[in-house]
Structure formats: structure tokens, C-alpha cells
């Protein structure tokens, strides 16, 4: 169903790791660690500034892959992992994109399910990867029927 999209990626989108967004995110996840929100604490840290929580990249803009569409409902979030080369610094400008890594199907109790493997990447201004997030989206038989109509 989505095999033709494997290897396709969105155009890079510029994002800024905004202090206010990091604070709101930290509040939302219930982790107000001073390394995320306290300016003076950040200055005294080994990073010399504040950093974003590890799951913060979920709120960044990765752009859209041309002609690729998934419904907003009926999908199952299978798994997600984050890999960092270094922390994401508050105030830095990064470029983010998303790429379809794989698609496969398995037969389950309620028909075929699709497994879409998606990678979100953030790079610094020199094109060096800061983080990569990999997620598996499960597409149920019911959703697959709607997509093929």
C-alpha cells in the first residue's frame, strides 16, 4: 500500500527551539528540570545554556511528503525511539525533515495490518544530525479499507 513511498522525504523545514515552547512542553510532560527552564542553571551547566527535553522533537515541523496522506484518526502508535548525537539547545535553529523508511504488512486476527516506519531528523545549521526519531505507525484493516476507496 505504501511501498512506493519508501525512501521519500519531505523538504527541510527550519525550526527554532524556542524557550517558551520548551517551557510549555516541560510543563505538559510534568518535568520542570531546571536544565530545561532555568536560565541561570543552564548557563552553569556543562552545555552553557538550557536544553530541550528528549521527546521535545515531537512538536517540531518536519514538512510534508508530496502526495503522502494518512487519516487523522484510526491509526495506532506502535513504537517510537529517539537517538541523539548531542542535546537540542534552547534557541538554536535547526532544519527538520521526515522520511518513510519502510512499509510492511502482517495478517492479524482482524485482517491485514500495515506497519509504516517513519524517521524524523533534525540537523544543525552545518547539516550535522542532532537527533533522529524513528516511529512505527500501525494501519488497521478498517483504515486500510478507507484508504483504498
Segment 52-71, tens digit of pLDDT: 999 999 999 999 999 998 88
pLDDT at 148: 62
Mean pLDDT of the chain: 93
Q: Which residues pair with 132 in a beta bridge?
A: 83, 121
CA distance 95 to 117: 21
Segment 85-110, tens digit of pLDDT: 999 999 999 999 999 999 999 998 87
Task: Supply the pTM of this predicted model.
Answer: 0.88
User: Which residue bears the cell 516541560?
Assistant: 26
CA distance 97 to 101: 13
Q: Which residues pair with 131 in a beta bridge?
A: 84, 122
Q: In which element (H, E) is residue 40 found?
A: helix 39-44
Amino acid at each position: 500500500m505504501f511501498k512506493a513511498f519508501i525512501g521519500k522525504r519531505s523538504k527541510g523545514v527550519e525550526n527554532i527551539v524556542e524557550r517558551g515552547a520548551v517551557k510549555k512542553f516541560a510543563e505538559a510532560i510534568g518535568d520542570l528540570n531546571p536544565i530545561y527552564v532555568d536560565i541561570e542553571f543552564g548557563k552553569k551547566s556543562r552545555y552553557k545554556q538550557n536544553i530541550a527535553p528528549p521527546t521535545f522533537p515531537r512538536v517540531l515541523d518536519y514538512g510534508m511528503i508530496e502526495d503522502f496522506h494518512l487519516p487523522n484518526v484510526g491509526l495506532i502508535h506502535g513504537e517510537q525511539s529517539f537517538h541523539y548525537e548531542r542535546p537540542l539547545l534552547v534557541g538554536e535553529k535547526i532544519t527538520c525533515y521526515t522520511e518513510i523508511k519502510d512499509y510492511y504488512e502482517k495478517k492479524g486476527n482482524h485482517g491485514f495490518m500495515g506497519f509504516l516506519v517513519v524517521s524524523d531528523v533534525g540537523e544543525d545549521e552545518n547539516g550535522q544530525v542532532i537527533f533522529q526519531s524513528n516511529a512505527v505507525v500501525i494501519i488497521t484493516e478498517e483504515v486500510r479499507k478507507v484508504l483504498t476507496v
